[in-house]
Structure 1
Amino acid sequence: MATRQVLNELASAYEARAGERVAIESVGGVAAFRRVDEGEAFDIVVLASDAIDRLAASARVDAASRVRVARSGVAVAVASGAPRPSIDDEAAVREAVLAARSIGYSTGPSGVYLTRLFERWGIAEPIASRIVQAPPGVAVGTLIARGEVELGFQQMSEMIGVEGIDVLGMLPPGIQTLTIFEAAICANACEPQRARAFLAFIASSDADSAKVRNGMEPCQPA
């Protein structure tokens, strides 16, 4: 889901440029991985690099076709108009988490990272009853806007454009994590050559501005 907005924009740009329509289906990363791993037919899959690693190892994608799409850091948000805790450094973020009535994160890479961060801080058990994990495919920002989460963490690309929230900013450098998203051609692709042309476009510098607009960063080829 983190790449949903940027892929939709890039698909539209590619259609205007090449006259080729690209249909994007965005689902939670766990579901996307499972569907490809079980052999469902797609031309391309876009996932965090570690998930692409696993699909390449099981020959569900063409490992030679892999391209880096973008990288994304984790942002922090609260409901619009709510008090804005400091997130200036690691200690401030830890204090904000301890003070929050409810803390939200996703089932994706950012959620896995935050689980480990809270364990490293030694606060996982005390805050366990206040953790709200967004269901696959549901943005943490949506839960914040509904009042179900007071303090939320997720990829910046998923926070952008969500009404009813205030994004406080990115996690500070000392505890920030960057997820690299990659694309690859599926082993059972119906249109591998057309897929390869689209991957070349989304990995090119022509796609950089769309990535920045959607809260992601371009990254160098692997």
Structure 2
Amino acid sequence: MHDSRFRPAMRLSRRGGLRFALLLGLATLSATADAQAKPRELHVITSGGFTAAFEALAKQYERDTGGHIVTEHGPSMGDTPQAIPNRLARREAADVVILARGGLDKLAAAKAITPGTEVDLGLSKIAVAVKAGAPAPDIATPEAVRRTLVNAKSVAWSDSASGIYIQSVMLDRLGIADQVRRKGRMIPATPVGKIVADGDAEIGFQQLSELKPVKGIRIVGLLPDSLQKVTPFSAGIVAYSPHQADARALIAYLASPKAHRQIRDSGLEPVVAKAKP
């Protein structure tokens, strides 16, 4: 026979337990809703051609969304440990990568990128630079570029998309490959502009967006159209990223009109998305 003196206490205990369970459930729901509403911390690895644009856009994205972005840098290709393909091979923390389209396509073929997430963001052209205060060489025509390269004492180009094009295509097209390759240097990882600014090369070739941030150089201009190579810089979601939805939202933001001014200011031409039929 139960003592009636304990029944109110038992009822209070049960009510307290129900209240606690209800509060715990509400707190869990609230925390889940907050986590879903607030963008997660995202890790982005960008190559040099899109670095200046992304630095500005990352700050803007954080202000607009409340999320947080951790940025790392590396070349689109090459043998250095910093190169984006090598970083992904080591499975470094990464949600989004931004690099030359050719490099991104290779990563996609290797299944390192989530299928269907590749988006072109900006179009990049190759520019020519000399040390600040040095005379500007003539690069107005292909023949002028040919003379400038033949007469230059030393030449530098990158080990990424623009440099590979110059070394393996443009010099052959101009008929001066043997003459220039002997005095040319392919620069891994370090900006070509810095090599020129330090006086280690008389003339340098790299994406305009990579030369613009470098101090101590004079940007002569873009290569003539007939020699020019336009490189898309594109974003993709890393296949092993645990934040696929948030990464997709970031790429959509970078491809939206909100990003066009920063992309253009960096020396790239924004890629305007075509309307779907």
Q: TM-score, normalised by structure 2?
A: 0.77
Counterpart for residue 270 of structure 2: 218
1:22 is matched with 69
**In structure 2, what is the equivalent of residue 193 of structure 1?**
245
Q: Which amino acid aligns with 2:114?
A: D
How many residue pairs match? The answer is 221
How far the C-alpha of 1:85 sits from its partner, in A, is 1.1
SS in structure 1 opposite 2:204? Answer: strand
User: What RMSD over aligned residues (CA atoms) do the two structures have, in Å?
Assistant: 1.3
Q: Which has the higher contact order (CA 8 A, sep 6+)?
A: 1
Alignment of 1:39-118 (within 5 A): 39-115=91-167, 116-118=169-171
When normalised by structure 1's length, the TM-score is 0.95
Distance 1:200 1:79 in 2: 38
Of 153, 165, 175 in structure 1, the residue corresponding to residue 205 of structure 2 is: 153
Deviation of 1:33 after TM superposition, in Å, equals 1.6
Q: Which amino acid aligns with 2:107?
A: L
SS at match of 1:16: helix
| Runs of 4 or more above 2 Å deviation | 37-41
Q: Is the 8 Å Cα contact of residues 44 and 186 (structure 1) preserved in structure 2?
A: yes
Tell me the alpha carbon deviations over residues 24-63 of structure 1, each in whole angstroms, 9 at most, x when there is no partner: 1011222102222454341111111111111111211112
8 Å contact kept, 2:125–2:207: yes
| SS, match of residue 64 in structure 1 | coil
Q: Distance in 2 between matches of 1:213 and 1:82?
A: 25
Amino acid at match of 1:19: G
Q: Which has the larger Rg? A: 2
Task: Give the % identical residues.
Answer: 34
User: Please, which runs of 5 or more residues in structure 1 have no aligned partner?
Assistant: none
Q: Which amino acid aligns with 2:62?
A: E
Q: List gaps (5 residues or longer) in structure 2.
A: 1-47, 78-82
